[in-house]
Amino acid sequence: MAGSSAIERALVRSLERARSAARVLNVETARYIIFSDHHKGQRDGADDFARCERAYIGALKHYNREGYTLIVLGDAEELWECRPKAVMRAYANILKLERQFHPQRYVRVYGNHDDEWERPRRVNKHLGKIFGPLDVSDGLCFRVQNGDRDLGLMLLVHGHQGTLFSDRLAGIAKLVVRFIWRTIQRLTRLPSTTPAKDACLRDDHDAAMYDWAAKQDGLVLIAGHTHRPVFSSKTHLRQVEDQLAALENTPPEERGEDFANQVATLRAKVEHVRTKDQQCQAASAGKPDRSSPCYFNSGCCSFGDGDITGLEIVDGQIRLVRWPDDDGSPRARVLVQASLADVFASLR
């Protein structure tokens, strides 16, 4: 796969840097929520976050009230299209809600669209006015424990590391986005179509991330960037399709009275998820099985229908969640979950 070696080298560097300052995550007590890819703009026609603001506000209030640590995993601000000052002004309300987690329960990682935060002086100038002293890194590493027992490592990065336009040629890409694409988007109100949203490219990128993580010893990789939720190395669409297949294969004698309704409900759910995750079937055909639970993706906070997705780590579980729930209420809908102890046991 073109570019996969560059991605692997970049992930190795990120792991080395993050591991030197690794934190302990005990599955018995951990309470984390991971969100990424908000792409907060300046409230114009090119702003992909505006439609998701309501869901995100509800989520922030809930997780703050419940004592979670908030991890913002990159591309929080759309700084390829907008100047930092304009975004800070447009979304001061959101940043002030995030500030309520700071400093003990707030972690920031920068991505490609907000890589200005790579420079501490820029962080101090813009984010510092709201948060005060704030460290923004390119990755975060946890030593995961269950009581006194080490389970393995968890690496969190935005996920753009080593890619051609998002990392190595980011300077050129920024100019195109800021001065050409943003104008088109403002006039037409088309949703963003950056490389992170190209279905075929996303499939290859997810595969490269998985392949690197699978080579590591006892490591779980969590990323954003692709805007495509992935749980236990499967997309949410694949998860639901597998549930439907398992249900349809239930022996006739074991089917309950509600079987037909259950099948219809899952089929409808498959179609609902498919509209949000239009996969490139040609790119996926013939790909090797990637079933080790070593790669997870938080999805994004900029879906066109106003939904957001994230990853919860709580009660010994890792959960892919969506806000709002199925009836539009401001609460999390758990899409799929797994025991963290089981996840790491499966890596051995």
Compute the mean pLDDT over every residue in the chain, rounded to the nearest whole number. Answer: 85
For range 61-76, the mean pLDDT: 98
Least confident of 61-70, 109-118, 157-166, 245-254: 157-166
Same domain, 156 and 304: yes
The most confident of 61-70, 186-195, 197-206, 269-278, by mean pLDDT: 61-70
Percent of the chain residues topping a pLDDT of 70: 81
Same domain, 85 and 214: yes
More confident residue, 169 or 257: 257
Same domain, 98 and 198: yes
Same domain, 143 and 267: no
Pairing of strands 149-156, 230-231: unpaired
Q: Band of the pLDDT at 206, cuts 50, 70, 90? A: confident
Q: What is the predicted pLDDT for the residue at 275?
A: 67
Same domain, 330 and 270: no
Q: Is 343 helix (H, G, I), strand (E, B) or coil?
A: helix
Q: Encode pLDDT of 282-311 as tens digits.
A: 444 455 567 789 999 999 999 999 999 999
Q: Compute the CA torsion angle 227, 232, 238, 239 (nearest 10 deg).
A: -110
Q: Encode pLDDT of 143-198 as tens digits.
A: 999 999 999 999 999 998 765 444 444 455 444 444 443 444 444 445 553 333 44
- The candidate with the shortest Cα–Cα distance to 295, out of 197, 177, 154, is 154
Same domain, 229 and 242: no
> What's 52's DSSP letter?
G
Same domain, 82 and 187: yes
Domain end (from 267, 283, 299): 283
What whole-number distance in Å separates Cα of residue 339 and Cα of residue 227? 24
* 271 pLDDT more than 90: no
What CATH number did the domain enclosing 213 receive? 3.60.21.10
Q: What is the predicted pLDDT for the residue at 234?
A: 67
Q: What is the predicted pLDDT for the residue at 134?
A: 98
Q: What is the predicted pLDDT for the residue at 152?
A: 98
Same domain, 255 and 113: no
Same domain, 328 and 250: no
Q: How many separate domains does the chain show?
A: 2
Q: What is the predicted pLDDT for the residue at 73?
A: 98
- The candidate with the shortest Cα–Cα distance to 3, out of 228, 169, 139, 229, is 169
Q: What is the predicted pLDDT for the residue at 321?
A: 96
Bridge partners, 69 (sequence order): 32
Same domain, 160 and 56: yes
What whole-number distance in Å separates Cα of residue 52 and Cα of residue 15? 31
Say what the pTM is: 0.80
Same domain, 38 and 135: yes
Domain range for 188 is 4-233+290-346
Same domain, 244 and 316: no
What whole-number distance in Å separates Cα of residue 27 and Cα of residue 25? 6
Q: Encode pLDDT of 211-229 as tens digits.
A: 999 999 999 999 999 998 8
